[in-house]
Amino acid sequence: MLLVDILTVWAGFLLIWVLINRGVPVFQELIRDMTDFFMEKALGPGADLFEGRAGSGTVAWMMHGMLWTCIGGAFTFIGLWMNHEPDAIASLSSIYYEPSTATVQTAAYGAASGGILMLLIGAGLHINGRLSGAGVASETNAVLVSYAFSMTLLLGFVSDHTDSTWGSYLETAAGIIAVLVMIAILANHLLTLGRRTHDTVMPSQWLIIGGLGLPLLMCAADFVFDLHDAVLESMAILPMLASGLAVALYVAPFASAAPLWSRTLAGTTVFMTFVTLSPIGIEGAAESSMGDAAMLTILYAASMVPLLAAAGNVMQTARTNWGKATGNPASTAVMIGMIMVVGSAIGHLFVGSDVHSMSEIQHLSSPMNLLFLWGGMGMIAWGGVIACFPSASGRSLDSTETSRTTMWLVAGGATLAFLFSMGSSMISAAYDAAATANDSIDSDLIDMSAVATMDVLASIAFYTVSIASILMMINMIRGLFSGAPLGTDEPTPQSANRIALTPGSTTIRQLIAAGAGADTEIDVICDDCDEEE
C-alpha cells in the first residue's frame, strides 16, 4: 500500500534526523571506534596502497568521475547520432562491436550518471570535511572506495553490452559493490560529522547524509515491506539530486563570500527533499490504481518546493555579491544548473504523473532525462569541481578560462541538445498519432526527414558537451600536476634546465618562448670562437 510506503520513507528520514542529532545513546563510542577500525585498519594491505593525504579522497572521486563523464558524454553523443543513423558505427563489427542504439544509450546513461554522481560525491566529501572543520575522517578509505565504485561503473558498462546471463551476473556484482561503497562513504561522512568542531549541522551536510542514507534505509526496508516501485524509483535518483543540492548550497555562498540568503529556504530544501517523492527518472515500473496515481501526483508536485527554494536561495545569495559570484565560473555553473534542474523537474512532473495514468507524453522522457542529467546535475557538478578540486588538491586548475569555456559549452550544448531532441520526439509522436488516427495514411510513406534533421542537430549540439568534458579532464590533470600552489597566486610554468644558443642577438621574449625560466642555464656554443680569438 502506497500510503504505508510513504510513511516508511518519512520514518526513515526521522530516524536519520534523530541519529544525527542524538547519536546512538549507549553504544555511541563503541560504534564510532568500530567504524573507524573498519574504515582503515580492517582493510589491511588495501589501506596501505594509498597515502591518505588531506583532500586525496575528493581528488580521487573527481578524477574517476570526470573520466566516466567523458566516456558517458562520448557514448551519449554516439547514441544521439544513432537515433537517425542506426548503422553509424556498423563498421566496428569488424572488431565484433555491433551494439544496437538502445544498448549504446543505456550504457551511455549508466556511465554518465555514474560519472556525474562521482563528481558530486567527491565534492560532498570536501564540503562535509570543510564544514565539519576537521577534514574527512578517512581519506584512505575514500580513495580506496573510489576505485571500487569506478569498477562498478565498468562492470555496469560491460553488462549493458552483454545480452547473456553473464550480463545479469555482472550487473548484480556491480550493484552489490555499489551498495557497499555507499555504506563506506556514508560511514565516512558520519564519522566526519561526529568529529565536527561546532554544533550546527549545515544544510549541505544534511543533504549529503540524507541523500546517501535514506536510499540505503529504503533498500533494506524493501526486503521487509516490499515498497511501491514508484518509491524505489524516486529513491534511485535521490543520491544524485540531494548531493547536487548540497553542492549548490555550498558553492553559491563559497563563491559569493556571503552566507546563504535565507535560513528558512535552506531548511525547506532539506526537509522537503526527503519527505516528498521526485518524479525525475520515473519510468512507470509501478502498477498504480487511480488513488495511488493521485497521491503520487501530489507528492511529485510537492517535490518542486525544495528545488524552487534551493534555486531561489542560490540566486539571492549570488545577488548579495553579484560581481564576485558571476566572476567565479563555479558559481555561474551552479546558478545555470539550478535553473536547468527546476526546468527539467517541472517537465518531469508532467511526464512522471503521466506515466501512472495515460502515458501520452512518454516520448518526452528521454529529452527530460538529458536536460536533468547534463544541464542540471552536470552543471552543478561542474561548479563543484571548479570550487572544490583546487582546495582539495592544493593546486589551482590549469586554466580558469578553460573552466569557464567548458561550463558554457556544457550549458549551451545540453540546452540545445534537449531542445532539438524534444522537438524531434514531439514531431515523431505527432506523426505516429496522425497515422494511428487515420487508417488511410501509410506510416511508411510519411516523410520523416524533419525528425532526422532534428536528431542530427541534437547530436551535434551534444558533441560540445563531450568535448567540454574532455577539456575539463585535461584541465584537472594539468592542474593536479603543475597547477599553481594555492596561496601563492603565481603561475608555476615549466622551464628548461638548460638552453644552448649560438652567437648572435636574441630577445628575452624569444628565450621565454623557447622555454627559459628564471633559473635556466644558458650556454652559448660557438665552434669558431676559439679560432677567431
Partner 1 sequence: MTPNAYVRSTGGGFARRAILVCARMFDESMLPDVTLGEDEPAMARVLLVVSILGALALLILYGVLFPGSDIPALGDVVSLLGGLANSGIWIFLIGILVGFGMIFANVLGGALED
Q: Which residues bind partner 1 (CB under 8 A)?
A: 67, 70, 74, 77-78, 81, 85, 87-91, 94, 401-402, 404-405, 408-409, 449, 453, 456-457, 460, 463-464, 466-467, 470-471, 473-474, 477-478, 480-482, 494
Tell me the H-state helices in 40-84. 45-48, 56-82
SS3 state at 395: strand
- Cβ closest to partner 1, residue 447 vs residue 531: 447
* Residue 344 C-beta: closest distance to partner 1, Å: 23
* Residue 449 C-beta: closest distance to partner 1, Å: 7
* Residue 451 C-beta: closest distance to partner 1, Å: 13
- Cβ closest to partner 1, residue 278 vs residue 402: 402
Burial of 247 (0-12, 13-18, 19+ CB in 10 A): buried
- Cβ closest to partner 1, residue 319 vs residue 478: 478
Encode 78-96: b = buried (16+ Cβ within 10 Å), e = exposed. Answer: bbbbbbbeeeeeeeeeeee
The DSSP element (H or E) to which 457 belongs, if any, is helix 449-482
In eight-state DSSP terms, residue 504 is: S
In eight-state DSSP terms, residue 378 is: I
* Residue 453 C-beta: closest distance to partner 1, Å: 6
* Residue 412 C-beta: closest distance to partner 1, Å: 8
How many CB atoms sit inside 10 A of residue 57's CB? 31
Encode 140-168: b = buried (16+ Cβ within 10 Å), e = exposed. Answer: bbbbbbbeebbbbbbbbbebbeeeeeebe
- Cβ closest to partner 1, residue 94 vs residue 200: 94
* Residue 108 C-beta: closest distance to partner 1, Å: 13
- Cβ closest to partner 1, residue 188 vs residue 466: 466
* Residue 79 C-beta: closest distance to partner 1, Å: 11
Question: What does the alpha-carbon distance between residue 258 and residue 185 come to, in Å, rounded to a whole number?
Answer: 29
C-alpha cell at 449: 526527414
Helix axes 101-132, 139-160, angle to 10 degrees: 170
Q: What are 43-51's contacts with CB under 8 Å, separation 24+?
A: 43/140, 43/141, 43/144, 46/144, 47/140, 47/141, 47/144, 49/144, 50/139, 50/140, 50/143, 50/144, 51/140
- Cβ closest to partner 1, residue 308 vs residue 467: 467
* Residue 512 C-beta: closest distance to partner 1, Å: 12
- Cβ closest to partner 1, residue 365 vs residue 402: 402
C-alpha cell at 318: 549570488
- Cβ closest to partner 1, residue 450 vs residue 514: 450
Question: What does the alpha-carbon distance between residue 118 and residue 124 come to, in Å, rounded to a whole number?
Answer: 10
In 3D space, the residue among 431, 484, 19 whose CA is nearest the CA of residue 209 turns out to be: 19
- Cβ closest to partner 1, residue 133 vs residue 491: 491
Helix axes 263-275, 304-320, angle to 10 degrees: 160
* Residue 118 C-beta: closest distance to partner 1, Å: 16
Question: What does the alpha-carbon distance between residue 109 and residue 462 come to, in Å, rounded to a whole number?
Answer: 14
- The residues facing 524 across adjacent strands are 501
SS3 state at 448: coil
* Residue 190 C-beta: closest distance to partner 1, Å: 33
C-alpha cell at 423: 522537438
C-alpha cell at 26: 549507549
- Cβ closest to partner 1, residue 339 vs residue 461: 461
User: How many residues are given for the chain?
Assistant: 533
* Residue 123 C-beta: closest distance to partner 1, Å: 21
Question: What does the alpha-carbon distance between residue 379 and residue 245 come to, in Å, rounded to a whole number?
Answer: 12
- Cβ closest to partner 1, residue 249 vs residue 255: 255
